[in-house]
């Protein structure tokens, strides 16, 4: 049994990806069982053990670059990171650097170019998407022929938002009206995958893959903050090997 999924996209052979599932770890109770997040009140020794298990099961070339995610629009160069910087994306052109994002309903986006020379991982909550996390990350990636993979996130039938969220996106662009569906009085169902596709397309990324998961309705595989409140996180990772930097 594998405890992760990989991006289904036509990336170069030297590009490697994984999103961990909630299975295969040592955490207990609400965090059962493969929780690598150290900010959700899980036992630290379990988190450390889970991180070691992830490194072993994926045969990672180095320690994942963990970020202090704050729903910001900040993207940092992963090979220059020395601690856990406050940022919601990392990117690199260096081999054996593992760009890593933690999520439990928010959208993990993995990026690379067709030649396999540059990679990035970003955390897309609705605030970050609205404020420009995708655009900011892409601005650090001058490579051409970029492609994106949208990892496990809250599905379009489960993501209820108020008219404040819908209005904020539509005031940014009328294109986003297609990503919101009337649900109840003053409530809408938002399609975070569609929002990301619009943003990526507008920024020049045409090759977009993934987007078929729902973290809320798949409790066997995924942590979900919207579903459970107190819970763990999945780690989405991308790294490159083999080619000259």
Asked if 192 and 154 count as a contact pair (C-beta separation under 8 A), the reply is yes
pTM of full prediction above 0.85:
yes
Would you place residue 211 in the very low, low, confident or very high pLDDT band (cuts 50, 70, 90)? very high
Is residue 119, in this structure, part of any structural domain at all? yes
What pLDDT sits at residue 244? Answer: 43
Number of domains in the chain: 1
Percent of the chain surpassing pLDDT 90: 94
Question: Is residue 245 classed exposed, middle or buried when 0-12, 13-18 and 19+ CB atoms within 10 A define those classes?
Answer: exposed
Is residue 178, in this structure, part of any structural domain at all? no
Is residue 199, in this structure, part of any structural domain at all? no
What pLDDT sits at residue 212? Answer: 96
Nearest Cα to 25, choosing from 213, 226, 234, 238? Answer: 234
Is residue 164, in this structure, part of any structural domain at all? no
Is residue 26, in this structure, part of any structural domain at all? yes
Query: How far, in Å, CA of 153 to CA of 82, rounded?
Result: 29
CATH code of residue 235: 3.60.140.10
Is residue 19, in this structure, part of any structural domain at all? yes
pLDDT at 142 over 90: no
Is residue 28, in this structure, part of any structural domain at all? yes
What pLDDT sits at residue 245? Answer: 47
Task: Let me know the angle formed at the C-alpha of 161 by 176 and 166, rounded to the nearest 5 degrees.
Answer: 30
Nearest Cα to 197, choosing from 118, 107, 127, 119? Answer: 107
Q: Write out pLDDT tens, residues 25-57.
A: 999 999 999 999 999 999 999 999 999 999 999
Domain ranges, residue 119: 4-155+204-240
pLDDT at 78 over 50: yes
Q: Write out pLDDT tens, residues 157-206.
A: 999 999 999 999 999 999 999 999 999 899 999 999 999 999 999 999 99
Is residue 161, in this structure, part of any structural domain at all? no
| Measured torsion, CA atoms of residues 91, 93, 97, 103, in degrees rounded to the nearest 10 | 20
Summarize the confidence of residues 67-83 as an average pLDDT.
96
Nearest Cα to 108, choosing from 120, 94, 117, 97? Answer: 120
């Amino acid at each position: 049994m594998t405890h992760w999924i990989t991006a289904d996209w036509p990336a170069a052979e030297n590009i490697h990806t994984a999103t961990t599932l909630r299975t295969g770890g040592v955490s207990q109770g609400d965090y059962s069982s493969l929780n690598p997040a150290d900010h959700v009140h899980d036992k630290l020794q379990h988190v450390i053990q889970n991180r070691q298990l992830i490194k072993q099961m994926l045969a990672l070339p180095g320690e994942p670059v963990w970020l202090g995610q704050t729903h910001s629009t900040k993207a940092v160069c992963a090979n220059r990171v020395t601690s856990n910087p406050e940022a919601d994306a990392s990117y690199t052109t260096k081999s054996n650097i593992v760009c890593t994002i933690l999520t439990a309903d928010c959208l993990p986006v993995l990026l690379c170019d067709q030649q396999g020379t540059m990679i990035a991982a970003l955390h897309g909550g609705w605030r970050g998407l609205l404020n420009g996390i995708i655009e900011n990350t892409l601005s650090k990636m001058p490579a051409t022929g970029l492609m994106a993979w949208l990892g496990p996130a809250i599905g379009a039938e489960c993501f209820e938002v108020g008219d404040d969220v819908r209005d904020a996106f539509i005031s940014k662009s009328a294109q986003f009206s297609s990503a919101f569906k009337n649900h109840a009085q003053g409530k809408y169902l938002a399609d975070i995958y569609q929002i990301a596709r619009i943003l990526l397309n507008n920024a020049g990324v045409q090759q977009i893959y993934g987007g078929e998961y729902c973290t809320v309705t798949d409790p066997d595989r995924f942590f979900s903050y919207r579903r459970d409140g107190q819970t763990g996180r999945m780690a989405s990772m991308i790294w490159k090997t083999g080619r000259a930097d």
